[in-house]
Amino acid sequence: MKNEKEKYGYVRRRLGRTGLLVSEISLGCWTIGGPNWNEGQPVGWQKFDREEAVRALERALELGCNHLDTADVYGNGRSEQLLGQILGSRRKELILATKVGWFQGTAEHAYHPLHIRHQIEQSLRNLRTDYVDIYYFHHGDFGPEDCYLEAAVELIRRLKEEGKVRFIGQSAYTPSDFARLIPKVDPDVLQSRAHMMDLRMIEPASAVARLIRERDLGFVAFSPLAQGLLLDKFHPESPPVFEEGDNRRQSRWFSREFLAELAPRLDRVKSRFGSSAGDLARVSLQYVLAYPAVSCVIPGFRNAAQVEMNLAPAGKALTSGEAQWIGELFAGLRMA
């Protein structure tokens, strides 16, 4: 096993002021929640196979991945339950993160403190543990005029005092949400999207990156492969049609028009770095990791082969010249 870990070049990075050392390529467990809907919207992933997912998680642990990220809404608990199934005696070796905020149930708001209390207890049961290392607010909507914010923050701090949560996380989707919430929530870790076409949170000059530096925050980058787009899996001649319950079903990123803009850029990447999915994964993951604000990336997976492909690039950094070339190539597709 030692040689295998060396082959994958495993590297740990400090997760900001938490002091935790996490795999620079950690894993996100949204995809293994399977198809799902929340308030009538597709929020899951098609082609779920429970046995494949369990084998994939076991393979991740064999290869030394020590940080797994999930949420209560991923399969409405299915993802957490799969993690709980495989942890066993390895729990203390791992850094587990889960989230609250998208699944509202019958509560008047997903951040109502009674609902948060219910959800953390359910997550702990699903995960078969008595604590989580990081507990995130999953988004930045705390109700009109942030009316649930103060009580939600008070409760999550109480959960820390009770030993059920080690560190507080804040996930958000816009720089303005982070700018508003970081001073009030005082999170230890941030999480948001970051990939070649979306660098809003991690560019050194951005307001979020400045807050990360000033407060010594960890930053976990989700969707570093842009939900598979950067692996050249989809083509404008035959744009994908996703099943019901798959979050990509309504995304413009998978339209014929966008894929036509993306394809020539990926062709140039393949010409320079190699054309296999593993080559493209290495470029995409290491490009995000090249930004100083980023602690780790959490690509998703469905099976053991994808786990191996995602973890293999660990430690194989791009040169500054390569990163600059990629940045210039994708500038025209970047989200403002």
81 three-state secondary structure:
helix
**Quick one: pLDDT band at residue 37, thresholds 50, 70, 90?**
low
Would the pLDDT of 257 be above 90? Answer: no
For the segment 69-98, what is each residue's pLDDT rounded down to a tens digit? Answer: 999 999 888 999 999 999 988 999 999 999
**Quick one: pLDDT band at residue 307, thresholds 50, 70, 90?**
very high
Judged by phi (left if over 0) then psi (alpha if -120 to 50, else beta), residue 319 lies in beta
Question: Could you give the count of Cα atoms lying within 13 Å of 258 in the half-sphere of its Cβ?
Answer: 17
Percent of the chain with pLDDT over 70: 90
Q: How many CB atoms lie within 10 A of CB 37?
A: 13
User: Mean pLDDT score of the chain, rounded to an integer?
Assistant: 91
**Quick one: pLDDT band at residue 1, thresholds 50, 70, 90?**
very low
**Quick one: pLDDT band at residue 9, thresholds 50, 70, 90?**
very low
**How far from chain centre, in Å, is Cα 138?**
11
Strands 218-222 and 27-28: unpaired
Mean pLDDT confidence for 231-257: 71
66 three-state secondary structure:
coil
Lowest mean per-residue pLDDT among 24-33, 41-50, 287-296: 41-50
Would the pLDDT of 335 be above 50? Answer: yes
Would the pLDDT of 284 be above 70? Answer: yes
Would the pLDDT of 100 be above 70? Answer: yes
Mean pLDDT confidence for 233-249: 66
- Terminal Cα distance for the chain, rounded: 44
Burial class of 154 by CB neighbour count within 10 A (0 to 12, 13 to 18, 19+): exposed
Token pair, residue 314, equals 């660990």
- pLDDT for 258 equals 86
Q: Which residue in this structure is represented by tokens 């660990």?
A: 314
Would the pLDDT of 304 be above 90? Answer: yes
Distances (CA, A) of 174 to 1, 194, 325, 330, 335: 41, 11, 26, 20, 11
Architecture in CATH for domain 2-333: Alpha-Beta Barrel (3.20)
Handedness of CA 300, 306, 307, 310 (dihedral sign): negative
Taking the C-alpha atoms of residue 216 and residue 209, their distance in angstroms, rounded to an integer, is 10
Would the pLDDT of 300 be above 70? Answer: yes
Question: Could you give the count of Cα atoms lying within 13 Å of 139 in the half-sphere of its Cβ?
Answer: 13
**Quick one: pLDDT band at residue 46, thresholds 50, 70, 90?**
low
DSSP state of 177: H
Mean pLDDT confidence for 141-167: 98
- pLDDT for 20 equals 98
Taking the C-alpha atoms of residue 209 and residue 147, their distance in angstroms, rounded to an integer, is 27
Taking the C-alpha atoms of residue 161 and residue 175, their distance in angstroms, rounded to an integer, is 29
Would the pLDDT of 35 be above 80? Answer: no
- pLDDT for 45 equals 62
- pLDDT for 311 equals 96
